[in-house]
Amino acid sequence: MNLRSIFSPVFLLVIILVSPARANVIDSCVAVVNDDVITLSEVNEAGKLMFQRIAEKVPPEQLSQALKQARKTIIDKLIEKKLLLKQAKAMHISVNDEEVDRAFQQILKRNKTTKKQFTEELSRLGMPEKQYRENLREQILSSKLVNYEVRSKVVIPESQIVDYYDQHYTEQVQEGGYYVLQIGVTAKGKDMPADPAAADRAAKKKADRIYSMAQAGQDFKQLAREYSDLPSAVDGGDIGTFKKDEMAPYMEQAVTKLTPGEVSPVVKSPNGYMIFKLLSSQEGEIITKVPYESVKEEIRNTLYQQEMQRCYKSWLDEIRSQAYVKIL
């Protein structure tokens, strides 16, 4: 991995952030957190990569406002960091050198680099290894605190997972509705002959082959993902429910003759050939798009992350409300 994707040098940072007239007050205080202060130099150091990206990408007329907003974001993050470190100290949570070493080795492994290469890159960026390790120690400390105060208290009940599944992975067939999957083969596909007649014959041959596989019992959704030329391929050909009067004539003639679970013969469409599978035509029937067990853990993780963010924000707001915080 190229370490420059993580770190990049900063040029003329002081010029970007501070006018020459104010260069002599670069260490001025910008915020107070309890009995601690945040200086302008801390803000510049913590936000240098963000400031550089903004300077490179934002139009000149918008640069001042963008840097101002970025500075506010960095100050908020530094305030959060000060609050977390103070809370960790009050709870006697600490990080020893061995834990920092393990985390450092994991970073080297994840980035597929050696310690020598990594520290050389740090040096080129003006960051001593000692400073990097101290930053790493603070991150581990904050993570320990959040694990104890927030993560350990977040529980996602099974009923919440089921509710999410019902909302996002099932669909109820409405009155007069047909729940349909589709596979489409277009005569203008990238692998088709340039001659229109030959392309049509090739598309029909491909559609017939897909139909034979579906009739042989192969999973229709998987066939759609592999062979369909339509946008619905990414969803396994799932196009949801249609009423009879909402269907194109060729679709209506094919679908309304099917019984649930049945696959239609190949049907000619304006752009090629179609195959449909009817999942249900019974009003009120609940159709499951994917089996519950196959997405249960994915849903649990999604809900866990959402609840973690909510609980963390609430917990941090409470800590901040009890602290003295003033932005100058």
Tell me how far apart the alpha carbons of residues 169 and 287 are, in angstroms, rounded to a whole number.
Answer: 9
**Per-residue confidence (pLDDT) for residue 281, from 0 to 100:** 66
- State the Cα angle at 245 between 242 and 251, rounded to 5°: 65
**Per-residue confidence (pLDDT) for residue 187, from 0 to 100:** 85
**Per-residue confidence (pLDDT) for residue 269, from 0 to 100:** 92
Tell me how far apart the alpha carbons of residues 263 and 276 are, in angstroms, rounded to a whole number.
Answer: 6
Give the pLDDT of the chain (328 residues) as one tens digit per residue.
444 444 433 322 332 333 334 444 457 899 999 988 999 988 988 888 888 888 888 888 898 899 999 999 999 999 999 999 899 988 999 999 999 999 999 999 998 989 889 888 888 877 888 888 988 998 899 889 988 888 888 989 999 998 888 888 776 655 557 889 999 999 876 678 888 899 899 999 999 999 999 999 899 999 999 999 999 999 899 988 888 888 999 999 999 888 888 999 999 998 899 999 998 765 445 666 677 888 899 999 999 999 999 999 999 999 999 999 899 8
Instruction: Kindly report the pTM of this predicted structure.
Output: 0.55
111, 118 contact by CB (below 8 A): yes
The single-letter DSSP state of residue 126 is T
Q: In CATH terms, is domain 171-288 a member of 3.40.50.2000?
A: no
The single-letter DSSP state of residue 289 is S
Q: Which residues contact 95 (CB under 8 A, 6 or more apart)?
A: 137, 140, 141, 144
**Per-residue confidence (pLDDT) for residue 287, from 0 to 100:** 63
Nearest alpha carbon to residue 311 among 161, 156, 153: 153
**Per-residue confidence (pLDDT) for residue 13, from 0 to 100:** 32
Tell me how far apart the alpha carbons of residues 181 and 261 are, in angstroms, rounded to a whole number.
Answer: 10
Q: Where along the chain do its domains lie?
A: 1-90, 171-288
**Per-residue confidence (pLDDT) for residue 126, from 0 to 100:** 74
10 Å CB burial of residue 19 (0-12, 13-18, 19+) is exposed
Q: What are phi and psi of 237, to 5 degrees?
A: 80, 5
**Per-residue confidence (pLDDT) for residue 171, from 0 to 100:** 64
CA 247 to chain centre: 35
Tell me how far apart the alpha carbons of residues 296 and 160 are, in angstroms, rounded to a whole number.
Answer: 11
**Per-residue confidence (pLDDT) for residue 196, from 0 to 100:** 87
User: What 3-state DSSP class applies to 28?
Assistant: coil
**Per-residue confidence (pLDDT) for residue 226, from 0 to 100:** 93
243: which strand partners? Answer: 177
